[in-house]
Amino acid sequence: MVNDLLQSSPGLFNFAIFFLLGVILLLVVLGFVTYGILAERKVMGYMQLRHGPNQVGGRWGLLQTVADVLKLLLKEDIIPKLADKPLFIIAPVIAFAPSFMVLATIPFTDKFQFADIGVGLLYYIAVSGLTTFGVLLGGWASNNKYALLGGARAAAQMISYEIPLVMSVLGVILLAGSLNLNDIVDAQKHGWFFLLQPIGFVVFFISSIAELNRTPFDLPEAESELVAGYHVEYSGFRWAFFMLAEYVYLFAMSSLITVVFLGGWLPPFAFLGFIPGAVWFALKFSVVVFMYIWLRVTLPRFRADKLMEFGWKVLLPVSLANIFLTALIKSLFF
């Protein structure tokens, strides 16, 4: 009966296929979040001469994050009496939903992509900016001055660093001649943009750290000053949504850097083309994730005023200079 229904309705069949693929991708991302957190804690422990998780799930602590998630799900869901209840409830969802939506346009291989949008890079940047509303609403709805300060900091930081982030990829767009992520990967067959756009790559990577609210740019949730910032009043699974959004964005941003600057699924040399593209994508992706973890362990937190000054006075002029140089070089040599 189900087969007859699907055959008589091709649209329904396509929807069922895409829904199933979406569920699979969600499970993959949740698996990454689960073991990405574990990997981060183990790498941080190694770099700081600690053991890291080593109790739950054997000597490697393989079930530690699973236990932490179960603990969060079992915690009491507390809503402050004076909070704006509707906004308080929906803010974590607004923060998380865009982090998963942006994955639709990322080509993981030449054959695996949910939506080949002509302006895929623009779509990613536009949709990811919506998370700022969730963070700001979470701080506002909590009716807590420290949460509000954290939300305001997050909005200022994410909007400020969004500008050099966008500017830094304009050089890539000039060289590729397209906003389509597949076209950008194809344009790197003779040289990754990491090598052709080193300034753009550095600016993009630094700006992405600020967009992800990760150390050393984790001012919106600076525990020593703001008692955890915008999510201080959240508990249990609502707090977990904010953390889930952060790590899903880590997955998405690492994938985007892999596609835009590291050639996506393309091998570094033509004679290595026999290795599947998915393997190359996974290797490059893992290196980028490790770099994020490495910087978190190594660098101290910036001061708030220095953070904003660095974005506006350093990254923005450098990204503008990179656009000018790229346009000049392209007009002279291409």
Run means of pLDDT, 10 residues per run, the chain, 334 residues: 50 78 84 89 90 84 89 87 91 90 88 83 90 90 88 87 92 90 91 91 94 83 70 88 89 94 89 88 94 90 87 94 91 76
Q: How far is CA 219 from CA 136, 154, 226, 238, 291, in A?
A: 14, 7, 9, 21, 20
One-letter identity of residue 75? K
Could you count the other beta carbons within 10 Å of the beta carbon of residue 131? 24
Q: How far is CA 258 from CA 92, 168, 188, 301, in A?
A: 28, 15, 11, 26
3-state secondary structure of 59: coil
Give me 156's structure tokens. 């200022």
Q: How far is CA 54 from CA 41, 57, 64, 261, in A?
A: 11, 8, 8, 36
Per-residue model confidence (pLDDT) at position 284:
94
Q: Is the pTM of this model over 0.85?
A: yes
Could you count the other beta carbons within 10 Å of the beta carbon of residue 116? 13
